[in-house]
Amino acid sequence: MRVLFDSSVTDFDRGGTSRYVAALLSRLQAIEAPVEEVSMQRAWPWSTRLPRQARVLLHDLAWVPRGSVGLGRSLGATIYHGAGFKIAPRAPFKTSVTIHDDTPWDSPPTARLYNRVYMRRVMRAAAPHLAGAITSTETTAAAILRRLPALAGKLHVTPWGVDHEVFRPRPSDEVERAVAGVGAAAPYVLLVSPYGPRKNATRMLQALAQARDAVPGLQALLVGRHDTPTTDPLPVLRAGPVSDDTLAALYSGASMLLYASLKEGFGLPVLEALACRCPVVTSRASVLEEIGGDGVMAVDPTDVDEIADACRRLLTDNVTRNRLAERGFAHARGFSWEETARLTLQAWNKMA
């Protein structure tokens, strides 16, 4: 078996998809799996000189339907795997794809109109011909099957993992340096990449403003991508992108992670926080509650008062906060990228 793993989409998406690709490929290489990374920019290096939007169009309109097929044929692919949604509708070899969520059908929409329309079209065309598809949770799999019933019996759930060497409880001196480095101060509640309508940043900040009366000086610390700032209901520090080591230290020093999204495909920050013994408030009846299990406090993400009550409880009740942190830490130990790699290779073997 020879699997060609097309990571081209990470040239345009530096978020969760890139984290998934990097972590999975490194673990597949560690077990000497018959997997080779390929991409448009490696095969067509001249494309790197184009503006980003031109590269996106080149990828979608030329690379996916023709370039990847030609490469797969010339390299003798047993399976050609797309790292995120985009795969040739037809090819003279077996194809598979990672479907991270049902973003193309989001309401309210997260992705731009072009991307939603393109992904809907290409996934509908490819679904009947795929050898299989990979996704991260049972909740996400069910959502995908409602949109793409042709994938029934071909969808493999391989939960994403946590890098426990990086995301682990950090010592106090390291926490202090990280907090000072981003210009923050304790106590703070961490929000990770709260951008776009489905991330629910407005309600989360409103809830923290309500809970703030119980904790003088409480600050919301936003790291990663975020929306354009508006009038904030409490002190907010937007630190932007940080390194994984800094993020692990910020998790370790936070009063909690607030991650009450309206919808997610997986939600890596929840597991990363749990692995750092950081208590988590997240969304009930969602993929986030599925991956968090009994290690998270789940709320209705549309109810600001309920979110505020949960935050107030964790901010003021040390016994509950410590108990939840320990339970979450134990729960996160069950997730690893090594297991993701093993399950992914198992899925490809079934497809082949």
Q: What digits encode the pLDDT tens for the residues 152-176?
A: 999 999 999 999 999 999 999 999 9
Q: Are residues 16 and 140 in the same domain?
A: yes
> Backbone phi, then psi, for 31, in 5-degree steps?
-95, 10
Q: Are residues 267 and 142 in the same domain?
A: no
pLDDT at 216: 86
Please say if the pLDDT value at position 238 is more than 70.
yes
How far is Cα 80 from Cα 36, in angstroms, rounded to an integer? 10
Please say if the pLDDT value at position 110 is more than 80.
no
The domain total for the chain is: 2
In a domain, 128, yes or no: yes
pLDDT at 234: 86
Structure tokens at 314: 């964790």
Mean pLDDT (whole number) for 281-285: 95
**Residue 220, CA distances (Å) to 194, 211, 304 in order:** 12, 11, 16
Cis status of the peptide bond prior to 301, with omega within 30 of 0: no
pLDDT tens digits, 255-275? 999 999 998 888 999 999 999
How far is Cα 247 from Cα 271, in angstroms, rounded to an integer? 13
Mean pLDDT (whole number) for 225-237: 84
Q: Are residues 324 and 231 in the same domain?
A: yes
In a domain, 9, yes or no: yes
Q: Are residues 144 and 32 in the same domain?
A: yes
Q: What's 209's domain CATH number?
A: 3.40.50.2000
Q: Are residues 341 and 221 in the same domain?
A: no
Domain that residue 295 falls in:
172-332
Closest CA to 71 of 95, 98, 96, 38: 38
Confidence of residue 11 (pLDDT cuts 50, 70, 90): confident
pLDDT tens digits, 140-152? 999 999 999 999 9
The amino acid sitting at 344 is: T
Segments of 233-289 assigned E as strands:
236-240, 256-259, 280-283
Q: Are residues 248 and 315 in the same domain?
A: yes
pLDDT at 265: 83
Kindly state the DSSP code that residue 60 receives in the 8-state scheme.
Answer: I
How far is Cα 249 from Cα 174, in angstroms, rounded to an integer? 6
In a domain, 165, yes or no: no
Q: Are residues 154 and 53 in the same domain?
A: yes
How far is Cα 205 from Cα 231, in angstroms, rounded to an integer? 11
pLDDT at 108: 67
Q: Are residues 148 and 208 in the same domain?
A: no
Burial of 227 (0-12, 13-18, 19+ CB in 10 A): middle
Task: Give the distance from CA 62 to its chain's centroid.
Answer: 27
Q: Are residues 134 and 222 in the same domain?
A: no
pLDDT tens digits, 18-38? 889 999 999 999 999 999 999
In a domain, 113, yes or no: yes
pLDDT at 129: 97
**Do 222 and 239 touch, CB atoms closer than 8 A?**
yes
**When comparing pLDDT for 106 and 41, which is higher?**
41
pLDDT tens digits, 114-135? 888 999 999 999 999 999 999 9
Closest CA to 278 of 265, 259, 262, 263: 259
pLDDT tens digits, 211-221? 998 898 999 99
Beta bridge mates, 220 = 189, 236
Mean pLDDT (whole number) for 231-246: 91
In a domain, 166, yes or no: no
Average pLDDT of the residues of the chain: 94
Q: Are residues 136 and 260 in the same domain?
A: no
Percent of the chain with pLDDT over 70: 99
In a domain, 118, yes or no: yes
What is the pTM (predicted TM-score) of this model? 0.91
How far is Cα 141 from Cα 139, in angstroms, rounded to an integer? 5
Q: Are residues 108 and 245 in the same domain?
A: no
β pairing state of 297-299 and 132-135: unpaired
How far is Cα 22 from Cα 183, in angstroms, rounded to an integer? 29
Q: Are residues 183 and 154 in the same domain?
A: no
For 138, residues 6+ apart whose C-beta sits below 8 A from its C-beta are 157, 290
In a domain, 217, yes or no: yes
